[in-house]
Amino acid sequence: MATETTTDGEYDRAKEVKQFDDAKIGVKGLIDSGITTIPRFFVHPPDILSDLKPRPETRPASDLIPAIDLSGVDSNHRRSLIVDQIRRAADTIQIRMGPTMPDPAEIPEICRDEVIEWNQEIKQLGELLMGLLCEGLGVDTGRLKQMTCSEGRVMVGHYYPHCPQPDLTVGLAYHTDPGVLTVLQQDHVGGLQVKNDGVWVDVKPIPGALVINVGDLLQVISNEEFKSAEHRVLANASHEPRVSIAVFLNPGNRDDLYGPLPELISPEKPARYRQFTLTDFMTRFFKKELDGKSLTNYYKL
């Protein structure tokens, strides 16, 4: 079994993680039990912890993470403005905007109707956004839809309880989302950050706005016209728990080949990625740690 040396000396990390997993209480259970220090397997290495401190921002966050108003998207004038705003935002980082459905019986009754309705809303929003992104790329509006890019939806709820030692750990390690787009509803607590030019920037909650992340697959399909957003969540120092709901939009056809769109490839802009199936891609994603951009790098030509 792996042992690790920490400032406390050696300990059997794998054993302590397994004991915690087997207890099935989760981080909420730990906090509810009244702990004032976190288990040592949650403590991150010094390079991650030193990077948690705020650094001066080079540009205002509202500029880096634009809030884009989608109203009037069906009028020609507004649409071309919105397409341009989205194209520029997706080229850099995150945008904020105003599962394959399981058997309903498997969804807890307390939130069943809301989950079913949210899934429908996000499907429509996802298709609208993908159409706008296609227009920004200069390809057919329906191109991503034809590739079933919003058909494989996965909804994940996150609960970040108050952390008694927020300087020693993170809420969610830095990563990019693997799929095409992610639609994230965060509450008012805050803690989500996105990396821009090597600097972590707060994605402050805006009432009524959703956060849209470009995922790794869209980076590949767009041949890097759009870049996936590196993001993380700080440990929650607030005494209120933080809740967020992410819907990951992935292609539904797992065994088709995905790669840069042929329309975007030219002698001046050769393909930057080889083709792969979603099955291969997702298998690699689930085998690796959350670690920034290693997945897209793997398929790079």
Ligand X SMILES: O=C(O)CCC(=O)C(=O)O
Binding mask 176-215 for Fe ion (x = CB under 5 A): -x--------------------------------------
Q: Which helix (H) or strand (E) holds 153?
A: strand 152-160
Least CB distance from residue 154 to ligand X, whole Å?
A: 10
Q: How far apart are CA 217 and CA 296, in angstroms?
A: 8
Pairing of strands 192-196, 152-160: unpaired
| List 85, 169, 186, 228, residue binding ligand X (CB under 6 A) | 186
Least CB distance from residue 151 to ligand X, whole Å?
A: 19
Burial classification of residue 243, based on how many CB atoms lie within 10 Å of its CB (0-12 exposed, 13-18 middle, 19 or more buried):
middle
Please choose, out of 16-24, 184-192, 214-222, 259-267, the segment that lies near ligand X by the rule CB under 6 A: 184-192
Query: Interface with ligand X includes 231 (CB under 6 A)?
Result: yes
Instruction: Count the Cβ atoms, other than its own, within 10 Å of residue 138.
Output: 11
Query: Interface with ligand X includes 145 (CB under 6 A)?
Result: no
Least CB distance from residue 34 to ligand X, whole Å?
A: 25
Query: Interface with Fe ion includes 127 (CB under 5 A)?
Result: no
269-295: buried (b, 16+ CB within 10 Å) or exposed (e) per residue? eebbbeebebebbbeebeeeeeebeeb
The residue among 86 and 234 lying less far from ligand X, judged by its C-beta, is 234
| List 139, 168, 246, 271, residue binding ligand X (CB under 6 A) | 246
Instruction: Count the Cβ atoms, other than its own, within 10 Å of residue 161.
Output: 20
Radius of gyration of the chain (CA): 20
Query: Which sign does the torsion angle of CA 249, 177, 94, 263 carry?
Result: negative
Query: Interface with ligand X includes 244 (CB under 6 A)?
Result: yes
For residues 149-178, which are near Fe ion according to CB under 5 A?
A: 177
Least CB distance from residue 1 to ligand X, whole Å?
A: 29
CB under 5 to 8 A by kind: which of Fe ion, ligand X, none does 233 bind? Answer: ligand X
- Say if residues 228 and 213 touch (Cβ distance below 8 Å): yes
Least CB distance from residue 114 to ligand X, whole Å?
A: 18
For residues 103-122, which are near ligand X according to CB under 6 A?
A: none
Size of the site for ligand X (CB under 6 A): 11
What type of residue sits at position 158? H
Q: Which residues contact 280 (CB under 8 A, 6 or more apart)?
A: none
The residue among 169 and 244 lying less far from ligand X, judged by its C-beta, is 244
Query: Interface with ligand X includes 184 (CB under 6 A)?
Result: yes
Q: How far apart are CA 140 and CA 100, in angstroms?
A: 25
| List 49, 172, 199, 264, residue binding ligand X (CB under 6 A) | 172
**Interface residues toward ligand X, by CB under 6 A:** 156, 158, 172, 177, 184, 186, 192, 231, 233, 244, 246
**Interface residues toward Fe ion, by CB under 5 A:** 177
